[in-house]
Structure 1
Amino acid sequence: MRGTESTVEPEPETASDEANGAETGAERGTRNRKRLKAAAVVLAGLGFIVGGSLLDPDPEPSGWVAEPASSQSPYSGPEPTSEQVTADFEAATTAAGLGPAASPRSFMAPGCLAPWESYEHVSDAQWAALRDNLTSRQWQLTQHLKRPHTVASSLTKGTWHLMVVHEDRPGSRGHLSLMAVNSTPACEEAFKKAQAAGTQPA
């Protein structure tokens, strides 16, 4: 997907955020918004995610719909590494009959981003299977979006925020992307440095 300017909507707070008892919900939301927006600038500079019309921070015009409340408990284990997140993607896409992945890109924020993408058609059944396989690996669905030629879902696992997007436009190849951003103070600094350096691949 080709992006020029992106913003990422902050996800609902997770169990790991709640450990910060002295911090209010508003403060946590502001903190996560800054980290995710910094990451989005990096990703947009690399042309990885679609632009602001899809990832609009205002849920009304953007078309994002909150997922029904889940009976699944929030992830409470050790924070996954980027390698473990990528392993989740490989397992979930393979189980859904998708892939192989395109050649991985290199980013200036190692350990803070986990990308996976391919250029193929994704059926409705495969899309549903992909979401199911991610949730079976303790990714929690938070929002979804459906537009002509584009579907997307937003998920969380600990401090990781995942955007899954599939575009399938007439006359062009399909594009499936999974991009997870780790929302931690260390990654916030890494995103700022990558942004200042021009958001170029490492």
Structure 2
Amino acid sequence: MVMLQFRQLVVQPGQRIQLQDVDWAEFEAILAELGDERSSRIAYFGDVLEIRMPLPEHEVDNELIGDLVKILLEELDIDNECFGSTTFRRQGMQAGIEPDQCFYIENHAVMIGKRRIDLTIDPPPDLAIEVDVTSKTGLEAYQALGVPELWRFEEGGLRISLLQDGAYQDATQSRHFPQFDVIDWVAQVIVRSQTDGRSQTLKAFRKQIRGLIAATN
């Protein structure tokens, strides 16, 4: 039998590979071999491991949506901790996931100063963001880990899912920003950035938010 190291596998941008019958020890070993300095993302649930390589445009949209959330949190004066694409995993749930962006909002205080996450004692992120189609494996991992709110940006639109009774239900509003039409705003920011550029688009968005907040005070 020919044995290959995972570093020898080449996953092209926009593609993914799925491995069946991967137990927890093998999952941990694969993560260690892949290392932290990589652009691929993983999703693991049960005995299925998925490795995907984002497209370049994925990263552009990812940063824009993450910046949009940061602006909302800053302008609304909501304390938070951002953990980016940290690997979240819990052996008891046989689940592991790497969101594109994630935020601790309700639970921000207990995460201050944390550099390592242990989901046996730490809470999962309050909001996770995935840019690109989220696979069944990824959704099951998020559900198993108990992430309360998941945003998925796919095919030019934002989909908000809220965890209810252990399963995700689609929603029209974010639990964290219920007063705003976040779905519409994300679409507008993505489209505008393609003509006005990132900086000008985010400046305009911040100005818009400040105006709305001032109007309600």
Q: Give the TM interval when normalised to the shorter protein.
A: 0.3 to 0.5
Which structure has more relative contact order (CA 8 Å, sep 6+)? It is: 1
Question: Which structure carries more helix by proportion?
Answer: 2
| TM-score (normalised: structure 1) | 0.32
Greater Rg by CA: 2
| TM-score (normalised: structure 2) | 0.31
